């Protein structure tokens, strides 16, 4: 892991959501209030992996990319329901940001494989998620 790159990704994201840690046990992004909640971590790679995932969700906020899939539910639990386009978008984006930051993606590959085994994910959902993921990653990195 390259923590300098991790921090530059997070700090380079302008007007990012407020991030609270240790209040909730599940990493979540709440569109209402534009807030990310993260649990406490013992592993720094887990922290950044989850933070990147929630940052990708937050790019869908109406004040940013206004992604239509952000409206499917009011909050996003990164541990479940990766069958939706929004969850695929966040998981793909997490993987790309982890790659930039030299964070191991083995856990993520396992998660994605399980998603495809468990959910009936359609090819056009994957294509939509790839497109949204590209926009989200550029939004975070280019600003």
**Of the candidate residues 47, 48, 52, 76, the single one contacting Zn ion (CB under 5 A):** 76
Nearer residue to Zn ion within complex by CB, 2 or 81? 81
Number of residue whose CB is nearest Zn ion: 78
Specify the DSSP class assigned to residue 52. H
Q: β-strands 75-77, 28-30: how paired? A: antiparallel
Counting contacts by CB under 5 A, is residue 121 touching Zn ion?
Answer: no
| Residue 42 neighbours by CB distance under 10 Å | 6
- Between 90 and 98, CB nearer to Zn ion: 90
Cα atoms in the 13 Å half-sphere on the side-chain side of 106: 2
Nearest by Cα to 80 from 117, 31, 34, 26: 26
Binding mask 82-101 for Zn ion (x = CB under 5 A): -----x--x-----------
Binding site for Zn ion (CB under 5 A): 76, 78, 87, 90
């Amino acid at each position: 892991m390259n923590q300098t790159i991790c921090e530059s990704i997070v700090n380079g994201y302008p007007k990012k959501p407020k991030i609270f840690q240790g209040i909730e046990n599940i990493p979540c992004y709440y569109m209402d209030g534009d807030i990310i909640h993260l649990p406490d971590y013992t592993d720094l790679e887990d922290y950044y992996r989850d933070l990147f995932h929630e940052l990708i969700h937050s790019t869908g906020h109406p004040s940013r990319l206004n992604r239509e899939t952000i409206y499917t539910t009011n909050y996003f639990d990164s541990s479940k329901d990766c069958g939706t386009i929004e969850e695929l978008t966040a998981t793909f984006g997490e993987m790309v940001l982890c790659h930039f930051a030299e964070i191991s993606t083995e856990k993520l590959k396992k998660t994605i494989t399980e998603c495809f085994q468990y959910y009936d994910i359609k090819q056009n959902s994957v294509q939509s998620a790839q497109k949204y993921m590209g926009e989200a990653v550029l939004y975070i990195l280019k600003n």
